[in-house]
Amino acid sequence: MADNWVDDWVSGVDDALREWADEHDGESVDPRGARLLLDLMRDDLGLAGPDGLTPALLRRLLLEVFPETVVAGADEVPDILATAHRLVAFLGESGAVPAARAAELTAELDALAPRFAEVVTAADTAERQAAAEVIHGMMVAEGVDPDDAEAVERWVREFEALPEAERFARTEEYLRRAEELVVPPVRLAPEAELAAAARRSPLVAEALSGGSDRLRQAADEAGITEDAGGDDHAVLDAWLRLFDAVAVPEHDPSGGLSPAQLVQNELTGVLIHLYEQDEPTAPEPLAAALMLHVEQEYEVADDRRTLTAAVETALAEEIDNLVRWGVAETRDGGFALTPLGVWGVRELLLADGFVAPQVGELAEVPAADLVAGLTWHRHDTADEEIDGWLARRDPRDAAAELLEVMRTGTPGARNLAAAVLERVGPQAAGAVRDAVRHAPVRPYATLWLSRNGDPGAELSRAEYVWMFVDSVAGMMETAEPDEAVRAALAKAPADADMGALIDDIWRAEHPDATDVLVALGDHHPDKALAKAARTAAYKARSSRNGAAPRGGDASGSS
């Protein structure tokens, strides 16, 4: 039968497997699951036929390719392994692979079953958490109150009833927009200080006294009919409702907008601009940024010079209002938000689905959440978050949490967790030594032990190469490949032999080695090294597919 496979060998195996299952009572096979495994063998392992399957490739299929490609629940692991066993049994009985190889594949399945369960469970947990965060974000972005159980249930029911293509499109659009909905971390003043500032703010008094039609309308929208009183929380809640109504006015652009209405329409953008700045913004750059946005978003029919002057005047009036209400202040020749303004704008951003980190909010979270949260921070605030997190934990417990993230996480998470681990004291040595047995953690653990005085800990060349690949792969999770390559080369020692390193990478047992070599081949500034990286990427693919690259054997010797 081994000679009868058609060009599309997967379809041939699939059809034959179904016939075999019909002929073998009790050997039921999940046809979709088997077809999925066959597709992965062809498309991700690059097999030209089932006879190319080896125990090493089977291990790579289940421990690397499958969890990275397929969304599967931990409860599905027994069925997936059963399908794999029946597929291997069929390949052996049909002669598609030699009987001895089939026995080796069966033994390999038994050996890797516990680890397969671990990686699928870890991937499933991460996938469910990520999916829940996306769904939550989509609901918030569409105006659904997450605390309104009935509204949440209705949204989920309606979303799940949509055709798959439309669900996918809406999710993609949300994720695209979500990349833009991130603002820098800020420090918030204590609630008592913010409430005192809200009590001093004349915003409520002006709205209740009918200072303008706009303020009266804002008070009506906020439901405020008398001077706000009560505890700090109640005062801030009332002030925020009024600020929300006055800061986000709605003017219908169809009938044309006056410069004042145009600026009011874009006031939230002005507030976000001030929120994102480390230093006060001078009036001229602020007006120029607003005018640039206006020209991009509106049909500007008036003379540009006239319109610019009118917009600048209207913006100055709005800034005066913000200063009077205690939202902004003049400082060092420019404008900046006050502590009350920072708090108020952040609350509005959160309500609109923005990611708006607060310095200090990661101190009590698990290590996985710390690592995820650090991606939104600058170096200075990230250091502050790490110090706060470590200060609340015993060094050994902190190390154990971080090492678990490194064992189960992506390269990006592993790199961040390793950076935090570097700040843990020598009391963690026992936990780090225990982690050496886990392959993804071993190089980092060895380096940590070496830096903390363990004379027996020495980083091997292979471990150094593995860490380089892991570092570049981690950067490629959040940056474009060219940016990751530039950053990696900048961090490499000045005397590093990049040619030798590239030659070692293709032999490295890292799942992302090929992707890193491709990135180096596409973006390394040295043409000779770029060509070497492209050649090494070809060797890596050939090696991982079980074929020896031309000019050498499967081990890479030439």
Long-range residue pairs from 296-305, CB within 8 A, at least 24 positions apart, any chain: 298/253, 298/257, 298/262
In 18-78 the beta strands, taken as DSSP E runs, fall at: none
> Which residue intervals of 66-190 are DSSP H helices?
66-69, 77-94, 99-141, 149-160, 164-178
Asked if 398 and 527 sit in the same domain, the reply is no
Distance set, CA 543 to CA 57, 58, 68, 500, 547 (Å): 10, 14, 20, 18, 6
Q: Rounded to whole angstroms, how far apart are CA atoms 228 and 211?
A: 17
Is residue 557 assigned to a domain?
A: no
Whether 33 is covered by a domain: the verdict is yes
Candidates 342, 349, 290; CA nearest to 316 is 290
In a domain, 222, yes or no: yes
Closest by CA to 49, choosing from 103, 1, 83, 109, is 1
Domain boundary among the residues 351, 379, 406 is at 351
Q: Do 437 and 472 reside in the same domain of the chain?
A: no
From 181, 202, 226, give the residue that closes a domain: 181
Residues 199 and 171 in one domain: no
> What is the mean pLDDT of the segment spanning 19-44?
81
456 pLDDT tier (thresholds 50, 70, 90): confident
Task: Give mean pLDDT, residues 488-492.
Answer: 90
Is residue 436 packed enough to be buried (19+ CB in 10 Å), middle (13-18) or exposed (0-12)?
Answer: middle
Within a domain: 549: no
498 and 388: one domain?
no
| List of residues 6+ apart from 84 with CB closer than 8 A | 37, 58, 62, 109
Does 307 fall in a domain? yes
Q: What element of type H or E holds 396?
A: helix 395-408
pLDDT value for 135: 84
Mean pLDDT computed over 357-375: 93
pLDDT value for 545: 57
pLDDT of amino acid 1: 39
User: How many structural domains compose the chain?
Assistant: 5
Given pLDDT bands bounded at 50, 70 and 90, which one contains residue 547? very low
Q: Are residues 337 and 261 in the same domain?
A: yes
Residues 449 and 489 in one domain: no
The tokens describing 505, both together, are: 């990478």
pLDDT recorded at residue 558: 30
DSSP state, residue 281: B
Q: Mean pLDDT across the stretch 179-185?
A: 84
Boundary (domain end) residue, out of 285, 316, 351: 351
Q: Does some domain include residue 2?
A: no
Whether 401 has a pLDDT exceeding 90, the answer reads yes
Residue 219 has pLDDT above 50, yes or no: yes
pTM of the model: 0.65
Give yes or no: residues 328 and 202 share one domain: yes
Q: What pLDDT shows up at residue 549? A: 42
What are the tokens at 263? 């600026």
**Same domain? 314 vs 445:** no
**Residue 326 belongs to a domain:** yes
Question: Residue 36 domain-assigned?
Answer: yes
For residue 270, give its domain range.
191-351
Write down the pLDDT at residue 118: 86
Alpha carbon separation from 550 to 52, 510, 531, 541 (Å, rounded): 17, 21, 16, 12
Axis crossing angle, helix 367-374 with helix 411-421, rounded to the nearest 10 = 100
493-507 pLDDT, tens digit per residue, is 888 899 999 999 998
pLDDT in tens, 117-171: 888 887 777 667 677 778 887 888 788 888 888 888 898 889 888 888 888 888 8
> pLDDT value at position 214?
79
Residues 385 and 519 in one domain: no
| Residue 80 sits in the same domain as residue 154 | no
334 membership: H or E segment, kind and range? strand 334-337
Residue ranges of alpha helices (H) inside 232-334 are 232-247, 259-265, 267-276, 283-297, 304-324
| Residue 224 sits in the same domain as residue 279 | yes
* 463-484 average pLDDT score: 92
Helix (H) or strand (E) holding 525: none
Confidence of residue 302 (pLDDT cuts 50, 70, 90): low
- The answer to whether 301 touches 257, Cβ cutoff 8 Å, is no
Are residues 281 and 343 part of one domain? yes
